[in-house]
Amino acid sequence: MADQEIRDDPTPAAPPAATPAATPAEPVTTPAAPPAAAAAPPASTRPKRVSYRGRTAGAKVSSNQKEGKVEEFEPFMLLPRGPPPLKEFLDIWDVDVLKQPQQINKQGHHTHLYSSDSLIVRRAQEFQIKITFDRPYKPAEDKFAVEFVIGPSPQYSKGTYIPVFPTEERQSVWRGRVVESSDNVVTMGITTSAECIVGKYMIYIGVVTPYGIRRTRRDPSTDVYILFNPWSPADPVFLDDEEEREECVMNELGIIYHGAYDDVSERAWNYGQFEFGVLDACLFIMDKADMPLSNRGDVVKVTRIASAMLNSRDDDGVLVGNWSGDYTYGVPPTSWTGSVEILLDYAGSRGTPVCYAQCWVFAAVFNTFLRCLGIPGRIVTNFFSAHDNDGNLKMDIILDENGKLDRNRTKDSIWNYHCWNECFMARSDLPPGFGGWQVVDATPQETSDGLFRCGPASVAAIKHGQICYPFDAPFVFAEVNSDVIFYRRQKDGTLEVAKVNPSHVGRMVLTKAVLHDGRRDITDQYKFPEGSPEERRVLEKAEEFGCQRERASVPQGDVEVEIPNLDVRVGDNFDVILKFKNQSDQRRTADVYVTGTVVYYTGVPSAEVVFKTPKVKLDPQQSKEEKVLVRGEDYMHKLVEQANIHIIATGKIKETGQIITAMKVILMHNPKLIVKVTGSPRVSEEMYVSVEFTNPFKFNLENVDLRMEGPGIMPFKRKQYSLIAPGTSITWTETFSPRRAGSTKLIASLDCAALRQVYGETELTVKQ
Amino acid sequence: MADQEIRDDPTPAAPPAATPAATPAEPVTTPAAPPAAAAAPPASTRPKRVSYRGRTAGAKVSSNQKEGKVEEFEPFMLLPRGPPPLKEFLDIWDVDVLKQPQQINKQGHHTHLYSSDSLIVRRAQEFQIKITFDRPYKPAEDKFAVEFVIGPSPQYSKGTYIPVFPTEERQSVWRGRVVESSDNVVTMGITTSAECIVGKYMIYIGVVTPYGIRRTRRDPSTDVYILFNPWSPADPVFLDDEEEREECVMNELGIIYHGAYDDVSERAWNYGQFEFGVLDACLFIMDKADMPLSNRGDVVKVTRIASAMLNSRDDDGVLVGNWSGDYTYGVPPTSWTGSVEILLDYAGSRGTPVCYAQCWVFAAVFNTFLRCLGIPGRIVTNFFSAHDNDGNLKMDIILDENGKLDRNRTKDSIWNYHCWNECFMARSDLPPGFGGWQVVDATPQETSDGLFRCGPASVAAIKHGQICYPFDAPFVFAEVNSDVIFYRRQKDGTLEVAKVNPSHVGRMVLTKAVLHDGRRDITDQYKFPEGSPEERRVLEKAEEFGCQRERASVPQGDVEVEIPNLDVRVGDNFDVILKFKNQSDQRRTADVYVTGTVVYYTGVPSAEVVFKTPKVKLDPQQSKEEKVLVRGEDYMHKLVEQANIHIIATGKIKETGQIITAMKVILMHNPKLIVKVTGSPRVSEEMYVSVEFTNPFKFNLENVDLRMEGPGIMPFKRKQYSLIAPGTSITWTETFSPRRAGSTKLIASLDCAALRQVYGETELTVKQ
């Protein structure tokens, strides 16, 4: 008919054929029911959804979960002449995708640790399936294909329908061969392309008959997940170091660094990327992001989307950031011990953002996402991090005319530390030289260009100041390179630059060592040494690309002050020591202001706890110490989580007008949990773990939450105590039964409004 | 007190002083009331807003509209000794910012056309203000500053508080000088920095007294807008061509091209950037975007944010895209005649997205935004545009085994045309050579990386295939360079590449000529000539950066077919002519399928209107024409807006198996409106305009909307007719009174469900 109407979701009149040949047609699919036209609301309200009619020829293909229906029989257009021949064609009795963890596929593809009943393999590497026919396979006469289908609208040209042929003469974009053929059983070897879509595919076997294609039915037991492959040189995520792969892909246990650069704290974490349900949760995240399937083979796009999806700002992402101290209706960020609960919660609720996270939680869950999909990933911690930086290199601190810190005017805050992710990939979208580790930061920037995502940005490019290459490199560059600029108000009320500290920010970048619990200092991956000519060139190049710096030159002074580190247990009294050194040959008198402020780890002040104004007289060339007492009773009731006190000492030298400054973050060390395991650690044996804690303070701890988990041995568990009185101890005991062998840990945390971030762990090695 | 609590919004204990000196302190501001802590909802619901406490030291500074309170008197910390002196200090009687359109500021800064009572100037260029004191100014003794303040939290280090001093010894980042001093009146010349924040500033004059700073009161009559300055070599938007500036900054009238590349239609548009309220609406857009004030001096960031804000996807932006044909609760995109109504509607409703837009409306309103803020801008139209391209270079068309178009399987659609913006700027964030015109596209991409914004992307980089530089260059590159790939299903059901058409997409890029109504073909700005060695290198480079191309080589055939253009009035019968040419020395027989489909301008099919299957026999070297009749009665009731019929002729040559293809978009030309002006065109004279239309069809036109406007002469007006019967005419008459002199137009549109996109215009020159 000439006037055939084409509806939004057309039903084909005559199904086309699909045979094993060079580039076959897609199977006929019956798409989902046509979407109802969006009900148009009055113009005064905000219409959210408009029908896509007229805008695109079909619905967007961005769901892995939806399944396009595949026809079981597709007749050919042209029927053969003459009477129908006797039944000659192959019939399929069984398809075995060899999916047991101990079989060749999972062992060879390093996917044996996933808790999954499905086959899981990696791309660009051969895996095998066994097809049992009704009679022996005759290559010259029998034509069949193994067909891989993903999503609601399979199309060969979009990479969502891929047939794999057994013979050399006809090959598609994925390679196939007959590994073995004996009796009725054919073992096919299948190798995907190195850039195929990462996700969950359906498998069909299609056999050519004289009348059309006959296919197996939909069989979820043969579904296969295809992941990124750091073991294959053809894959952009190829990482040519087996130990790094063991650490950054296969290790479920991590250590996240925090605290202060000269008093580093550690927090163990269960990434749990192999736990049941986590892989599906990661695919769900990409579906929730509405990410087109055809983009999901591109690791740059996957990591960029995930950077946005990890935070809930403007896209219903996984985690809600909350630094306020009020976590009434969620889990305090310091309480989590692993990623699994978070991801299962998110996927299970069909995408309700999980409360709450701070930077390490965003980073940890993102790390799980990366490792689960096969992208090598690790968490790094940058000490003194200029987050929220507008991409410029200036963090301002305002002092009044006497050199006292003016908190009202000081709006910038430098984070004591910040955690982000690195993922490993080639960057074919950039000029050569910028592959390798890439920064991705899932913690929302308050002042980025409105986007709550960051990266991937090449670490090599950041080190060399080449910040013009995508994505978001200026933000990361500023995070590790900003100058701290002290402005001082003068006697007549004017402001001028008093001091520029170019080495405070980005003091140290740490990540966990490979395959043991040590630290790796990777600062030199991000920055040339302070004061080196390369460093100077890099900063100039960054300025060329628009990063603003403070150019004022401040005359050198001749008095120095510094504050050495302290080891303080929370609740203790302690002395802050200021060490002065007069480097001149004259007397110097310093009017000093010492302010101690409880700060969040973001550097945002909460409450001042000490304020002293010592006058320090220094003879020529003299060194002198001044002590300032800080008492537990002054700060205990004002501590916020993470128990940091920020000491800033500033002052003016009477004789010269020089401004001196020193800053120090003092960590209060919390009590610890004692975790003990009893029983003989074997797979499937019943074992016991106990967590002990004693309240060392003089006040009650109320509504106390304990959490515990251990990769491969114990899923996450919780327990609550309504009250732990001063001096009393609690012991929480659980049983568990290890699921798999190997070295692992049990990680526990304790959390309540009055005391956060109490941790404990124990290692154990499970035998078979 | 040592235990002074610091609240979220601190009130300073003692206000500091601000005197004219090198880098003065910011004035004391009393911020707005502290925000209430966000009520925490249950974890099962989605918490949207969490208190910023702990996350940042103060609220984000991203509103131009909010005003920080500035203290009228700030006492000094240190009071002078001895008895107070007699009153000596300057008193301010008047501040005149010389804001009349005929005065020196607006004339010199090319801002005299704005309908605004406020001063409007451009950055990096001197403007003058007159201050009347109570006595003559004595430079040696009197100290004062002109202070510029923007936003709720003025800070010198953030560029939101800038004092300007009259004397050479003390200068801040903006320069000041005394132009003239006579009697009590001082004329100050002020030159802002070349990267200052663009927006609306408040002016204060601060005078130093022995006791503190005395300031003028808040006076909105002295508010000043500071814009980008394409006339200043220091400004990154500097455009060194006066005619281009007259066109791309100062011209309120534009022409937008559409239709087909060989049958280009024109649509006049009133950008109206100088109309009352438009400048405030543009600043409102940046406030609605929550764009930090400190970023608003950076033209790259401003245009990038605006690209997102113009569409309502995920950020409550200005316009809602709708291509469906159902515009019941909004204005059909083809009905708008200018940007003014849209922007005033958006700002007036405090940011409710306006319904509806298609690509030229997004582009036109964006162009108004650019020109209004002083960024040179123009609209370009790309004919045959591969929008929604994933950043890859393949647009697939599927044919069945006989060569007939398979609409069910063909999901990609090529837009007949697409409009985006170019803006002119230096790109200091990129390596040298990529400044100049930059592409920004505000029409949402369906398949970008989840972001509904595109650009700025350097046109020069796109031309040279250097698509690794930010932002979003691969999408634009694919938009003009994609290949059209025809797949054909063979007799046994397989698909193979039948033809690759590398020259269909990006056929022509047009923009309006400078200062007259002609066209400029700027295709060569985007692409090297087809087939040239440079073009080949560019495509290879783009492939290096990840754009995928189809590599199959298709053997050349010896039969060609093409479809010449037609000039068709809507409703007419017409013949589609197919011209065949047999270039071989043998006979050739072509089995041809000719399909005519009504398409949206996005190429998405709506209804098929003709389908013929001619068999064409060609002798050796013969040329032959075949005609296919298309009747008005077949298509009239199926036409959608923009009245395009897409003819695609495909077929197979019996003797060789060659697939031949030809495609043509046939535009149906609509009737026009006749616009006539009577009266003598002078400023403030009363004049009449009439709009005539006759219904040439055999059916009623119901619920007909007419619109009309003229820059500088008539604000937008509407009129509705419930019925225009076949053959009847209507005449709509309005009076108007030109506001300003010069050449201009009256633009009118008619729109109803049965007939869209009927236009008319007339030129007139208004005398003083």
A418 is catalytic: yes
Asked if B491's CB is within 8 angstroms of A544's CB, the reply is: no
Residues B415 and B294: their CA atoms lie apart, in Å, by 39
Q: B582 with B559: CB under 8 angstroms? A: yes
Task: Name, in order, each residue with C-beta under 8 angstroms of B87's C-beta and a sequence gap of 6 or more.
Answer: none
Placement of tokens 């709550």 in the chain:
A452
Residue B497 predicted with pLDDT over 90: no
Whether A493 and B16 lie within 8 Å, measured CB to CB? yes
Given A6, A24, A608, which is nearest B607 (Cβ)? A6
Contacts of B401 in chain A (CB under 8 A): 77
Determine if the peptide bond prior to A456 is cis (ω within 30°).
Answer: yes
Query: Which one has a higher pLDDT value, B90 or B361?
Result: B361
Q: What is the mean pLDDT of residues A87-101?
A: 89
Q: Does the pLDDT value for residue A164 go beyond 90?
A: yes
Per residue in B627-684, pLDDT (tens digit) is: 999 998 888 878 777 778 999 998 889 999 888 889 998 988 889 999 999 988 899 9
Positive or negative torsion for Cα B568, B571, B573, B575:
positive
* Confidence bin at B531 (pLDDT 50/70/90): confident
Residue A519 CA, distance from chain mean position: 19
Residue B121 tokens read as 């100037």
Closest CA to A499 of A599, A598, A590, A394: A394
Lowest mean pLDDT, pick from A23-37, B389-403, B709-723:
A23-37
Question: Is the confidence at residue B763, as pLDDT, over 90?
Answer: yes
What is the pLDDT at residue A421?
97
Distance CA B442, CA B318 (A): 10
Q: How far apart are CA A493 and CA A51, in angstroms?
A: 61
pLDDT score recorded for residue B20: 31
Which residues of chain B make contact with A634, given a CB cutoff of 8 A?
A: 2-3
More confident residue, A59 or A629: A629
Q: What does the pLDDT read at residue B450? A: 61
Q: Global pTM?
A: 0.84
Across residues A370-392, what is the average pLDDT?
A: 90
Q: Mutation test of the interface with chain B: which of A9, A28, A44, A50, choosing the one with the most B Cβ atoms within 10 A?
A: A50
Find the CB nearest A10 among B18, B408, B450. Answer: B408
Q: Could A608 and B60 be called an inter-chain contact, meaning their C-beta atoms sit closer than 8 Å?
A: no
Which of A305, A388, A495 is opposite residue B56, by nearest beta carbon? A388
CB–CB of A40 and B468 under 8 A? no
Specify which residues A512 forms β-bridges with.
A519
Does A419 qualify as catalytic in the annotation? Answer: no
Percent of chain B with pLDDT over 90: 55
Binding site residue list of A for Ca(2+): 481, 483, 530, 535
Most confident by average pLDDT, A342-351, B17-26, B168-177: A342-351
**Could you tell me which chain B residue has the CA closest to the CA of A300?**
B449
Q: Do B2 and A634 touch (CB under 8 A)?
A: yes
Q: How would you classify residue B242: left for phi > 0, otherwise alpha for psi between -120 and 50, otherwise beta?
A: alpha
Instruction: Please give, rounded to a whole number of angstroms, the shortest distance from the CA of A314 to a CA of chain B.
Output: 7
Single-letter amino acid, residue B148? F
Contact B55 A324 (CB under 8 A): yes
pLDDT digits (tens, 9 = 90+) for A434-459: 999 999 998 877 655 566 788 899 99
- In angstroms, rounded to a whole number, what is the distance separating the alpha carbons of residues A409 and A403? 13
Q: Report how far residue B331's alpha carbon sits from residue B350's, in angstroms, rounded to the nearest whole number.
A: 19
Question: DSSP character for B220?
Answer: G
Q: A345 pLDDT exceeds 50?
A: yes
Asked if B50 and A607 come within 8 Å (Cβ–Cβ), the reply is: no
Residue A7 — very low, low, confident or very high, per pLDDT cuts 50/70/90? very low
- Whole-number Å distance between alpha carbons of B691 and B762: 10
> Residues of B with CB below 8 A from A298's CB?
546
**pLDDT tens for each residue of B411-464:** 788 888 999 999 999 998 888 889 999 999 988 776 555 667 888 999 999 999
Cβ atoms A208, A147 nearer than 8 A: no
3-class DSSP assignment, residue B697: coil
Task: Over range B251-266, report the average pLDDT.
Answer: 93
Token reading at B551:
């590599």
Determine whether the interchain pair A17/B493 forms a contact, defined as Cβ–Cβ distance below 8 Å.
yes
- Three-state DSSP string of A666-679: EEEECCCCEEEEEC
Chain A nearest C-alpha distance from B742 (Å): 36
Nearest Cβ partner for A495 among B23, B46, B487: B23
Which residue among A409, A447, A468 sits closest to B429, beta carbon to beta carbon? Answer: A468
Cα(A731)–Cα(A275) distance, integer angstroms: 27
CB distance A495–B25 less than 8 Å?
Answer: yes
> In chain A, what residues touch B40 (CB-CB under 8 Å)?
326, 328-330
Q: Which residues in chain A have Cβ-Cβ distances shorter than 8 Å to B388? A: 56
Whether residues B21 and A493 touch (CB distance < 8 A) is answered with: yes
Reported ipTM:
0.79
Count of beta carbons in the 10 Å neighbourhood of residue A509: 25
List the catalytic residue out of A258, A418, A504, A646: A418
**A321: Cβ contacts below 8 Å, ≥ 6 apart:** A311, A312, A313, A356, A357, A358, A362, A443, A444, B50, B55
Sequence-ordered list of residues with C-beta below 8 angstroms from that of A691, at least 6 positions apart, any chain: A673, A674, A675, A706, A708, A731, A732, A733, A748, A760
The pLDDT assigned to B49 comes to 56
- The separation between the first and the last C-alpha atoms of chain B, rounded to the nearest angstrom, is 70
Report pLDDT digits (tens) over A615-662: 999 999 999 999 999 998 888 878 777 778 999 998 889 999 888 889
Closest partner residue to A12 (CB to CB) among B10, B408, B496 is: B408
- Residue B624, pLDDT score: 94
- CA–CA separation, A512 and A403 (whole Å): 40
Q: Which residues of B are known to be catalytic?
A: 359, 418, 441
State the nearest Cα–Cα gap between B493 and chain A, in angstroms: 5
The single-letter code of the amino acid at A30 is T
Check B446 against A60: CB less than 8 A apart: yes
A interface test, pick of B11, B19, B23 with most A CB neighbours within 10 Å: B23
* A89 vs B22: CA distance, rounded Å: 92
pLDDT over 50 (residue B4): no
Residue A248 CA to residue A514 CA, distance in Å, equals 8
> What is the tens place of the pLDDT at every residue in B139-186?
888 889 999 999 998 888 788 999 999 988 888 889 999 999 999 999
For residue A489, give the chain B residue with the closest CA.
Answer: B25
- Per-residue model confidence as pLDDT tens digits over A551-600: 777 777 899 999 998 888 888 899 999 999 999 999 999 999 999 988 88
**Which of B350, B429, B593, B635 is most worth mutating to test chain A (most A CB atoms within 10 A of its CB)?**
B429
User: What is the 3-state secondary structure of A409-478?
Assistant: CCCCCCEEEEEEEEEEECCCCCCCCCCEEEEECCCCCCCCCCCCCCCCEEHHHHHCCCCCCCCCHHHHHH
In this model, does residue B47 exceed pLDDT 50? no
Half-sphere exposure of B296 (CA within 13 A, CB side): 31
Helix (H, G, I), strand (E, B) or coil at A17: coil
Q: Where on the phi/psi map is residue B271: left (φ > 0), alpha (ψ -120 to 50), or beta?
A: alpha
Q: 10 Å Cβ neighbour count for A132?
A: 13
Query: A202: helix, coil or strand?
Result: strand
CA distance A513 to chain B (A): 30
Q: What percent of chain A has pLDDT over 90?
A: 55
Position B413 scores a pLDDT of 80
Span A116-125, pLDDT tens digits: 999 999 999 9
Whether A23 has a pLDDT exceeding 60, the answer reads no
Q: Supply the angle between the helices A359-373 and A278-288 in degrees, to the nearest 10.
A: 100
The reply to whether B180 sits in an annotated binding site is: no
How high is the pLDDT of residue A28?
39
Q: Do B324 and A50 touch (CB under 8 A)?
A: yes
The nearest alpha carbon in chain B to A326 belongs to B40
From the list B17, B54, B429, which residue is nearest A545 (CB)? B429
- Position B314 scores a pLDDT of 67
Which residue of A162, A169, A548, A604 is the best one to mutate when testing the B interface, meaning the one whose CB has the most B CBs within 10 A?
Answer: A604
Banded pLDDT at B56 (limits 50, 70, 90): confident
Chain A: closest CA distance from residue B516 (Å): 33
What tens digit of pLDDT does each residue of B582-624 get?
999 999 999 999 999 888 888 888 888 999 999 999 999 999 9
Of B456 and A170, the one with more pLDDT: B456
State pLDDT tens for residues B305-319: 999 899 888 678 999
Strands B126-133 and B185-191, by their bridges, are: antiparallel
Choosing from A441, A472, A558, A751, the catalytic residue is A441
Q: How many CB pairs below 8 A link A and B?
A: 362
For residue B38, how far is the Cα from the chain centroid? 36
Q: Which of A1, A5, A6 is the best residue to mutate to test the B interface, defined by the most B CB atoms within 10 Å of its own CB?
A: A6
Please judge whether B54 and A325 are an interchain contact, meaning their C-beta atoms are less than 8 angstroms apart: yes
- C-alpha distance from B309 to closest chain A C-alpha (Å): 10
Q: What is the mean pLDDT of residues B474-500?
A: 81
CB contact under 8 Å between B19 and A487, yes or no, is no
Nearest CA distance, B690 vs chain A (angstrom)? 30
Q: What is the pLDDT of residue A93?
A: 93
DSSP assignment letter at B151:
S
Taking residues B269-290, report their average pLDDT. 95
Closest Cα in chain B, distance from residue A619 (Å)? 29
Are B174 and B196 within 8 A, CB to CB?
A: yes
